């Protein structure tokens, strides 16, 4: 009778252990599949974004060459005409889950490479990073423009998005490519933590420089990690 009781207890313990192990395997399996899907979707979007800005660059180059061919005969005749300007075409829009892609962010140290979406919502933070605020004059296309543009990304503690921002240091590089096919290198020069309600850095004065601010949560979600970066050569870290 006693042996039977111990046998039942042992069986229950084994069942609990097996269920726990299956649960852990299931959790990590789901997390792995989810991470792979997010990275695959992000790469597909980046590929589409690259093709779009390349097409736009070619089109603007063709427009410029066409204008030059038209005005050159006037130069040969010695006539003077006002300098014409080439009107650039509206950037081709690329979307990810119905959100417009405004650019691409790459951080070599942490191997970050994601689309930058037009805004910050619960959904955008699950699939990429987004623009939370900008002081740039051109708020429609604020990336790589004078002013401070705040880019927010989640810390999922699994390597996605800004999970590894805590590993970044002053002097590290952040590369931003915008819809006009301009890639600007920014150098990190200030890293600090602040509380979740602090938005004072949103409107900070960059003195005419092109700067970005990266924002994410700490691992315990009790504070925010804020990173300032300025266009290479404009601020010493």
CATH number reported for the structural domain that contains residue 202 in this entry: 2.40.260.10
In a domain, 55, yes or no: no
**Tens-digit pLDDT profile for the chain (237 aa)?**
556 666 667 667 666 666 656 656 664 564 578 789 999 999 999 999 999 999 988 877 766 665 555 555 545 555 555 555 555 678 899 999 999 999 999 999 999 999 999 999 999 999 999 999 999 999 999 999 999 999 999 998 888 999 999 999 999 999 999 999 999 999 999 999 999 999 999 999 999 999 999 999 999 999 999 999 999 999 988
Which DSSP state fits 119?
S
Q: How far apart are the first and last CA of the chain?
A: 75
8 A C-beta contact, residue 171 and residue 104: no
In a domain, 45, yes or no: no
In a domain, 75, yes or no: no
In a domain, 125, yes or no: yes
In a domain, 80, yes or no: no
Backbone angles phi, psi at 226, to 5 degrees: -115, 135
In a domain, 51, yes or no: no
What is the rounded CA–CA span in Å between residue 226 and residue 211?
13
- 20 DSSP β-pair partners: none
Q: How far is CA 35 from CA 31, 101, 178, 207, in A?
A: 6, 20, 25, 39
Q: How many domains does the chain have?
A: 1
Q: 108 is in which domain, residue-wise?
A: 95-231
In a domain, 214, yes or no: yes
In a domain, 145, yes or no: yes
The residue behind tokens 């010493």 is 236
What is the rounded CA–CA span in Å between residue 192 and residue 182?
29
- Amino acid 58: pLDDT: 82
């Amino acid at each position: 009778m006693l042996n039977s009781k111990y046998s039942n207890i042992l069986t229950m313990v084994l069942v609990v252990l097996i269920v726990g192990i299956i649960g852990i395997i299931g959790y990590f399996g789901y997390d792995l599949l989810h991470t792979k899907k997010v990275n695959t979707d992000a790469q597909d979007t980046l590929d589409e974004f690259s093709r779009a800005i390349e097409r736009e660059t070619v089109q603007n180059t063709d427009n410029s060459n066409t204008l030059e061919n038209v005005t050159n005969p006037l130069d040969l005749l010695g006539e003077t005409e006002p300098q014409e300007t080439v009107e650039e075409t509206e950037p081709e829009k690329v979307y990810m889950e119905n959100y417009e892609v405004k650019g691409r962010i790459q951080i070599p140290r942490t191997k970050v490479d994601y689309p930058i979406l037009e805004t910050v919502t619960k959904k955008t933070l699950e699939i990429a990073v987004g623009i939370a605020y900008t002081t740039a004059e051109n708020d429609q296309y604020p990336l790589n423009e004078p002013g401070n543009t705040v880019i927010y990304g989640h810390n999922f503690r699994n390597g996605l998005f800004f999970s590894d921002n805590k590993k970044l240091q002053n002097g590290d590089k952040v590369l931003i490519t915008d819809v006009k096919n301009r890639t600007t290198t920014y150098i990190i020069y200030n890293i600090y933590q602040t509380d979740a309600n602090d938005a004072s850095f949103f409107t900070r004065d960059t003195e005419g420089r092109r700067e970005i601010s990266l924002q994410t949560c700490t691992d315990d979600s009790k504070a925010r990690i804020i990173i300032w970066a300025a266009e290479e050569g404009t601020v010493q870290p």
